[in-house]
Amino acid sequence: MACFIHKTTKFLEQLAAKNILVYQAMSLYYKKLIREEIALADIKSTDRILCIGGGPCPFSGILLHEYTGAHVTIVDNDYCCVCIARQLISKLGYTESIEVLYGDGNDISPKDYTVIHMAVQVNPIQQVFCSLKRKCPYGARILVRVPKKGLKKFYSADDFSLFRNCCKKAVHNWRNIDSTALFIVA
């Protein structure tokens, strides 16, 4: 089932990356979510944002840039997604402000970033989170999306309970995502 959800999400995102109407319709899902996450982490234009798991149509990274003006780096461990996302970023005219890298969240160095954003589909989510938290600079904010209780098993075999120890969270209504947890690295 988790595999089915991941494949369906990627398929829909591939359509969105190639069709402006699908893109506009799907981006409606993310707009309020992103505004709430920006407020939660107090993201400013001077921040440097790292998004782990962008998919073929990295709505979160694009909207984070559009709403704050901050530079965004998106990382995905699926090369096909990276290629489609790069074409979209170029089509939108954002190549100076948004870069898309092929790599795994576990291996990436987060030392140059002040905000790290993790998609709900990142796998293994606990391991990637702990690795980033260990390596990122003092004061960096990490945002982790946590799915609704009944949906957790569809996203990761990992336990999401670690994310209860966050310093603050934003709760999202009417979404598969229950909340976004904020961690500030001390």
Ligand X SMILES: C[S@@+](CC[C@H](N)C(=O)[O-])C[C@H]1O[C@@H](n2cnc3c(N)ncnc32)[C@H](O)[C@@H]1O
Contact footprint for ligand X (CB under 6 A): 9-10, 13, 52-55, 57-60, 75-78, 81, 104-106, 119, 121-123, 128
Least distance (Å) from ligand X to the CB of residue 103?
A: 7
Least distance (Å) from ligand X to the CB of residue 53?
A: 3
Q: Are 113 and 49 in contact (CB under 8 A)?
A: yes
Helix axes 79-92, 2-18, angle to 10 degrees: 30
Return the closest-CA partner of residue 44 out of 74, 67, 73: 67
Cβ closest to ligand X, residue 47 vs residue 76: 76
The pair of three-digit structure tokens given for residue 43, joined into one six-digit string: 């993201």
Is the link from the previous residue into 124 a cis peptide, with omega within 30 of 0? yes
Least distance (Å) from ligand X to the CB of residue 78?
A: 4
Cβ closest to ligand X, residue 82 vs residue 166: 82
Least distance (Å) from ligand X to the CB of residue 119?
A: 4
Least distance (Å) from ligand X to the CB of residue 100?
A: 11
Cβ closest to ligand X, residue 80 vs residue 184: 80
Cβ closest to ligand X, residue 97 vs residue 139: 97
Instruction: In whole angstroms, give the CA distance from residue 121 to residue 7.
Output: 11
The beta-strand segments (E) located in 5-140 are 48-52, 71-76, 98-102, 115-118
Cβ closest to ligand X, residue 53 vs residue 139: 53
